[in-house]
Structure 1
């Protein structure tokens, strides 16, 4: 009478295939010039750009204990 058969849903084959693909992605990965370049950009270029920006703006803004009308820029 109160079985859970009413709530069973059919599995979508495309979603099941996507799940298997994402689980086994490491098995089918190959280093190509494109993947090497993308990895280099995300490992070296992006952090260095963020680091340069952080170094240039270090201590430039002091947001603590500011009141309305105070200047944010220190120098």
Structure 2
């Protein structure tokens, strides 16, 4: 144990390339129809769908003071 060089790890060239690619990704990004569509879906469509579901289901469920066999839906 004494005298050993700890923390000496050979760098894997594939991991080094991957790290460089991730670091410099913004330099090579281009807006294409595919990237525009993906951005639209994740920025606008998904939050809009979650908001719609939240508004339509608001007040329909009541979890307070329920016993076994009681329904959670408000009438």
TM range (shorter): 0.7 to 0.9
State the aligned residue count.
75
Q: Which residue of 2 aligns with 1:17?
A: 17
Structure 1 stretches of 4+ with a deviation exceeding 6 A read none
Q: How far is 1:12 from its partner?
A: 0.5
d(CA) in 2 for partners of 1:66 and 1:73? 11
Gaps of 5+ in 1: none
TM-score by length of 2: 0.86
Q: CA RMSD in A?
A: 1.6
TM-score by length of 1: 0.86
Mapping of 1:1-75 within 5 angstroms? 2-75=2-75
Higher helix proportion (structure 1 or 2): 1
Gaps of 5+ in 2: none
Closer, same or farther: CA 62–4 of 1 in aligned 2, 3 Å: farther
Q: How far is 1:52 from its partner?
A: 1.0
